[in-house]
Amino acid sequence: MARRYRIAVLGGTFDRLHAGHERLLARAFAAADSVGIGVTTDQYLHRHPKPMGGTIRSYRSRRAALTKFLRRKYPGRGFWLAPLNDGWGRSVEPGIDVLLATPDTRRGAHAVNRERRRRGLPPLAIVLVPLVRGADGRPIASRRIRSGEIDARGQRAPKAPPNQRAAR
């Protein structure tokens, strides 16, 4: 990624931080001086259900875990977190330069640019970040971690003893 931007944005649920989140964030910090991250709120998730949605951690917990990770991994770097209550968040504000997305969120990135044009703002550059694949060759995803299928590194999760399987 040759060009350096001032402000990069991205958004997501950030439930169970994993290797895919880490790659997306690393690319954002490599691309820009400052990074804005929209974190979906509990209300947004209620309106837009996800697989195993009842096991997604609260907004407050997800935000705290992400903040802790960012402060540890990117000390002294500029970043901000914002509640994401819609499909746009702060990506439709003036002053943003680039939007990071994955192949799974590419459509949303293009929708952001359509909304920016509608609001009279220039479209954002879009940086597509490849998905990180687990040991089984499938993308690492929080839903797979929530189900106990894999861990945050994409390795097969160890099977729980029979008396603990129902408690997950």
pLDDT tens, 76-135? 999 999 999 998 999 999 999 999 999 999 999 999 999 999 999 999 999 999 999 999
8 Å CB contact between 121 and 112: no
The pLDDT value recorded for residue 167 is 47
Count of CB atoms situated within 10 Å of the CB of 55: 15
pTM: 0.89
Confidence of residue 162 (pLDDT cuts 50, 70, 90): low
Mean pLDDT for 66-83 is: 97
If residue 98 lies in a helix (H) or strand (E), which one and from where to where? strand 98-101
Mean pLDDT for 11-23 is: 96
The pLDDT value recorded for residue 143 is 92
Tokens of 111: 């929708």
Closest CA to 149 of 162, 165, 163: 165
With 60 as the cut, is the pLDDT of residue 166 above it? no
97-136 per-residue burial string, b: 16 or more CB within 10 A, e: under 16 = bbbbbbeebeebbeebbebbeeeebeebeebebebbebee
Q: How far is CA 85 from the centre of its chain?
A: 14
Give the separation between CA 155 and CA 36, rounded to whole angstroms.
29
Whole-number percent of the chain with pLDDT over 70: 92
End-to-end CA separation in angstroms for the chain: 40
- Which overall architecture, per CATH, does domain 5-134 show? 3-Layer(aba) Sandwich (3.40)
